[in-house]
Structure 1
Amino acid sequence: MSIATTKVIMYSTAACPYCVMARKLLSRKGVAFEDIRVDQHPEQRPIMERRAGRTSVPQIFIGEVHVGGFTDMQALDQQGELDKLLAS
């Protein structure tokens, strides 16, 4: 069961350790998310860069909110804010 009612999108690659950690955190929370792999779909990278204003992966969006990367999402989780954002 997913705690998220808001759509979660993560732009990522297979080998990126921060992407792996982000997937694990979201999965541990039971969050369903769309994982857009820019290594498999390079046409998605410019879309990610435009949306996020960043070139690194992962880039995580909860609804229309750009959370940032894994460390940004982890900080929100540690502050108790991630679950609130997911449930909004």
Structure 2
Amino acid sequence: MTTPKVDIYTKFGCGYCFRAKRLLDEKGVVYEEFDITMGGPKRDEMQARAPGARTVPQIFVGDTHVGGSDELAALEREGKLDALLAG
């Protein structure tokens, strides 16, 4: 079984983005980061994947939209993040 792909959409200077990436880094998670500071097609992609999302970070584990930094931290506190990351 392969682990799901992790995507995170961020903006330059975003403290919540830094916090989310730090948690993922501490867990040894390999993720792909998309900087949408200047908008562009990746911002459109983020909004298509998470309709109504206007803030960053937006985090996806496989096809699951986790949400932002607070939601990621809540999954960790509840002991659910490792299982999600494992697939």
TM-score (norm 1): 0.90
Counterpart residue number, 2:56: 57
Q: How do residues 21-32 of structure 1 correspond to structure 2 at under 5 angstroms?
A: 21-32=19-30
Residue 77 of structure 2 corresponds to 78
CA contact 1:62–1:85 (8 Å) conserved in 2: yes
The worse-fitting range, judged by mean Cα deviation, of 23-32 and 40-49 is 40-49
Q: How far did 1:46 drift?
A: 1.3
What amino acid is aligned across from residue 69 of structure 2 in structure 1?
Answer: F
SS at match of 1:86: helix
- Larger mean Cα displacement after TM superposition, 40-49 or 74-83: 40-49
Tell me, yes or no, if the aligned pair for 1:14 and 1:20 is still in contact at 8 Å. Answer: no
1:15 matched residue in structure 2:
13
Aligned length in residues = 85
Counterpart residue type for residue 40 of structure 2: P
Once the two structures are overlaid, the 10-residue window that deviates more, 25-34 or 40-49, is 40-49
Amino acid at match of 1:75: A
Taking only aligned residues, the RMSD between alpha carbons, in angstroms, comes to 1.4
Post-superposition offset of 1:40: 5.2
Contiguous gaps of at least 5 residues in structure 2:
none
Percent identity between matched residues is 42
- Which consecutive residues of structure 1, in runs of 5 or more, have no partner in the other structure? none
